[in-house]
Amino acid sequence: MREIHDLSFDIDRFLEDAARAKQQLDVERWREELRPSALRLFAARTRKLPWSRALLKLVVRELYPDDLFAELIGNLDRVPRQRWPQVVALAVALRYSWRKDGLARIVKSLQVRGIDSSPVKQHARRKRTTPRSSHPTRKSRRAK
Burial of 83 (0-12, 13-18, 19+ CB in 10 A): middle
Report the pLDDT averaged over residues 17-26. 95
Give the model's confidence band at 1: pLDDT under 50 very low, under 70 low, under 90 confident, else very high.
Answer: low
Amino acid in position 114: G
112-133 per-position pLDDT tens digit: 988 875 555 555 555 555 555 4
Distance CA 108, CA 83 (A): 20
| Residue 12 pLDDT class (50, 70, 90 cuts) | confident
- Which 3 state secondary structure label does DSSP give 117? coil
**pTM above the 0.75 mark?**
no
**What pLDDT, in 10s, does the model give residues 42-93?**
999 999 999 999 999 999 999 999 999 999 999 999 999 999 999 999 999 9
Q: Give which of 51, 35, 53 is closest to 43, Cα–Cα.
A: 35
